[in-house]
Amino acid sequence: MKNEIKNAIGHFKTITSHRHAVIRLCAKAGILCQGLRHDLSKYSLTEFLPGVRGYLGNRSPNEVERAEKGYSSAWLHHKGRNKHHFEYWTDYNPVEKKVAPVKMPLNYVAEMFCDRVAASKIYQGKNYDEAYPLLYFERGRDSRFIHPDTSKLLESFLVMLKEKGEDETLRHIRSLLKKTSDLEY
């Protein structure tokens, strides 16, 4: 029981710290309202309880549930409710007659960028540097089921982060959001 309480507190602190970091980044990117709604489903029992059971403090608790069950019920719930995840953006393609990735609206790509940066900061702690989110993105390249245009745009933001820093990248994203319609990237 003592360990469960410790895990619940730790998990709550981790997801709340992450959410607050995303809110700060989203505000700088010009999508504060999205930031305020970011990851609220993590506080639902469907996501929170598996998070407590799998809490390790240095990586996603979904990995623990996935190792035990072969899938993560928390992740399936989460990705189906949060449009900043590319996994949300799949649909049946009647031409190809199979499920395929769909191009994400720009505002959700911007939130996905903020999410990745914030997660990198939380999990890397003092070892975080602005190259890490790109490195993490590159490691998953071959297994990612994402629309090619969305992938290219996210990667361009991550490269800019590495080369020019957070402030300049967020200013760039903010200006894109002001002058570009959702799918014109």
- Which residues lie closer than 8 Å to 88 by C-beta, 6 or more apart? 79, 80, 81, 82
Predicted confidence band of residue 56 (pLDDT cuts 50, 70, 90): confident
Burial of 73 from C-beta contacts in 10 A (0-12 / 13-18 / 19+): middle
- Which residues lie closer than 8 Å to 9 by C-beta, 6 or more apart? none
Q: Give me the residue spans of the domains in the chain.
A: 2-179
Instruction: List pLDDT tens digits, range 85-106.
Output: 999 999 999 999 999 999 999 9
What CA–CA distance (Å, rounded) separates 87 from 145? 7
What CA–CA distance (Å, rounded) separates 84 from 53? 25
Look-up of token digits 């199979």: 98
Average pLDDT over residues 153-180: 97
The model carries a pTM of 0.94
Instruction: List pLDDT tens digits, range 19-36.
Output: 999 999 999 999 999 999
Contacts 24+ apart (CB under 8 A), 15-23: 15/39, 15/42, 15/43, 15/51, 17/122, 18/118, 18/119, 18/122, 21/117, 21/118, 21/121, 21/122, 22/111, 22/114, 22/115, 22/118
Residues linked to residue 100 through DSSP beta bridges, in sequence order: 91
- Are the C-beta atoms of 185 and 153 separated by less than 8 Å? yes
